[in-house]
Amino acid sequence: MSEPVIITCAITGAETTRDKQPHLPITPKEQGIAAQQAVRAGAAVIHLHVREDDGTPSQRPERFKEAIGEIRARVPEVIIQMSTGGAIGETIENRARPLTLKPDMATLNMGTMNFGDEVFYNRLRDIERLAARIYEHGVVPELEIYDAGMLETAARLVKKGVLKEPLFMQFVLGVPGGMSGDLRNLMHLLDLRLSHFDPASHWAVAGIGRHELPLAVQALTLGGHVRVGLEDNIYFTKGVLAKSNAQLVERIVRLADELGRPVASCKEARKLIGISS
C-alpha cells in the first residue's frame, strides 16, 4: 500500500489579490469557510497567511488569532501551518510574533532570494533565530526550499543542531528567482534529500502558477506530498480562474485516487508528521 499523500491548501498567501482572483478568502470568516471546504475536499493542512480587511498582508497576532478561531470552529482537526514568511519587506521580528499562538506548524524559509522584482530576505542568522523560536513554542517547522542551495543550508543546520530530524520539506518551485518547475530540478532536490537527510523526512511540492498541476502529479507518482491553493496558482486551467481553493484540492484527490495514493485525513497527517491531536 502506498504512503498516504498529505494535501496542504495555501488558501490566501500574501501576493494574490482580489482583483486577480475574486474568490480569494481575505477576512477571517472567509478563511474559515475556505479552510472548511478545502478540508472537506481532502486537505489536511492549511497554510495560513492573514490579511487586513482591505486585503493588505498582515502578521498581526490578533488577526491570526481571529483566523485560527474561525478555522478551528469549523474544522477543529485540521493542521494549521502559520506562515513566518509573511509578505516581502516584513521584518523578521514581525514575522515571528504570531508564533506565540502556538500553531501546529510554521514555515521556515531557508534562504534569501530574488522573488520576482523584490528581494525576500532570510539571512542565516535570522533563519537560526526563527528556527529556535519555532521549536521553543513546540511548533513543527516546514522548510520552504526554493533552490538547491537552501536544501544544503538545511543539511548544515541539521549538523549544527539547529534543525531536528525528521524534517518536513516543501519544495516551492516556479518562483521567478528560485528554481523553476522543471522536473529535473525536483529530481535534483530529491537526490540531495536522499544523500543528506534522514530517509524518514517528508517532502512536498508546491508548484507556482502553471507548474502547480504537473508538479503535483510528479509528487503523487514519486511518493511525495502536495500543496495547492490560490496563494500559488489562481487558475484551474489555462486562462480559467479557479472557483475556489477546494476546487484545486478536489482535483488532487481525484488524481491521487487514479494513481493509487490514499489521501491522509487530518488525523492520519498528524500521526505521519508527529503532531499531537
Nearer to ligand KMH, 120 or 168 (CB): 120
Closest-by-Cβ residue to ligand KMH is: 85
Nearer to ligand KMH, 108 or 242 (CB): 108
Contact letters (x/-) for Zn ion, 79-98, by CB under 5 A?
Answer: ----x---------------
**Residue 255 binds which one of ligand KMH, Zn ion, none, with CB within 5 to 8 A depending on kind?**
none
User: CB atoms < 10 A from the CB of 185, how many?
Assistant: 19
Contacting residues for 255 by C-beta, under 8 A, at least 6 apart: 216, 217, 220
Q: 246 burial class (0-12, 13-18, 19+ CB within 10 angstroms)?
A: buried
**Residue 87 binds which one of Zn ion, ligand KMH, none, with CB within 5 to 8 A depending on kind?**
ligand KMH
88 near ligand KMH, rule: CB under 6 A: yes
CB 207 within 8 A of CB 201: no
Distance of CA 56 to CAs 15, 62, 63, 80, 176, Å? 9, 15, 12, 21, 22
Residue among 58, 107, 153, 233 that touches ligand KMH (CB under 6 A)? 107
Shortest approach of ligand KMH to residue 10 CB, angstroms?
8
Shortest approach of ligand KMH to residue 38 CB, angstroms?
16
Shortest approach of ligand KMH to residue 269 CB, angstroms?
18
Shortest approach of ligand KMH to residue 74 CB, angstroms?
22
Q: Report which of 53, 39, 120, 36 is spatially closest to residue 83, judged by C-alpha positions.
A: 120
Residue among 4, 25, 85, 229 that touches ligand KMH (CB under 6 A)? 85
Query: How many residues bind to ligand KMH according to rule CB under 6 A?
Result: 13
Parallel/antiparallel/unpaired status of strands 79-82 and 105-109: parallel
Contact letters (x/-) for ligand KMH, 116-135, by CB under 6 A?
Answer: ----x---------------
Residue among 109, 153, 218, 245 that touches ligand KMH (CB under 6 A)? 109
Q: Report which of 157, 145, 110, 167 is spatially closest to residue 227, judged by C-alpha positions.
A: 145
Shortest approach of ligand KMH to residue 60 CB, angstroms?
16
Closest-by-Cβ residue to Zn ion is: 83
Q: Which stretch binds Zn ion (CB under 5 A): 27-35, 75-83, 158-166, 195-203?
A: 75-83
87 near ligand KMH, rule: CB under 6 A: yes
Residues that bind ligand KMH (CB under 6 A): 13-15, 83-85, 87-88, 107, 109, 115, 120, 144
Residues that bind Zn ion (CB under 5 A): 83
